């Protein structure tokens, strides 16, 4: 008797899982309004987001998700999460024009250069403290937090 029940369960569960996987990978499954976005970094290069605010972590480096691009996208949501794999993430873009004249406010930071500018609540989750390293390249301050985000 147990064999027919297993077969029936498999007939129901496997198609349901396949449909869910297809919906997720095709973009048909959308996060509910207000859900915190999760950005998964897949490139250790230091490159800014190509189009900040579009909801996609796609940097100017091969449209891959870099740490800087993920932080720039996360900054457009009230709350966000960033997943970092094992690796060394060197912050190599020099400061230059730290003030972005296109941003709101006279001294609004430019997240595309210099340090990482975190202005909202962002959880950064690495693989392991010994395996995930954010290297500021000998700079004293490589991230800027506004009081609301710290």
Q: Could you read off the pLDDT of 79-113 as tens digits, one per residue?
A: 999 999 999 999 988 876 555 555 555 555 677 77
List the chain residues with pLDDT less than 70.
Answer: 1-34, 96-109, 138-150
pTM > 0.75 = no
Say how many C-beta atoms besides its own lie within 10 A of residue 119's C-beta.
17
Nearest residue to 50 (alpha-carbon basis) of 35, 65, 37: 65
């Amino acid at each position: 008797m147990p064999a027919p029940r297993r077969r029936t369960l498999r007939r129901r569960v496997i198609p349901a899982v396949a449909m869910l996987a297809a919906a997720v990978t095709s973009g048909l499954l959308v996060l509910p309004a207000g859900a915190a976005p999760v950005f998964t970094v897949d490139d250790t290069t230091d490159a800014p987001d190509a189009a900040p605010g579009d909801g996609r972590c796609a940097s100017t480096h091969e449209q891959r998700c870099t740490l800087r691009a993920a932080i720039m996208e996360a900054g457009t949501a009230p709350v966000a999460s960033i997943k970092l794999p094992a690796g060394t993430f060197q912050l190599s873009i020099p400061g230059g024009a730290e003030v972005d004249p296109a941003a709101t406010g006279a001294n609004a930071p430019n997240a595309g250069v210099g340090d990482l500018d975190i202005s909202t609540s962002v959880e950064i989750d690495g693989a392991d403290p010994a395996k995930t390293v954010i290297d500021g390249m000998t700079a004293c301050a490589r991230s800027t937090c506004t009081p609301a985000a710290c």
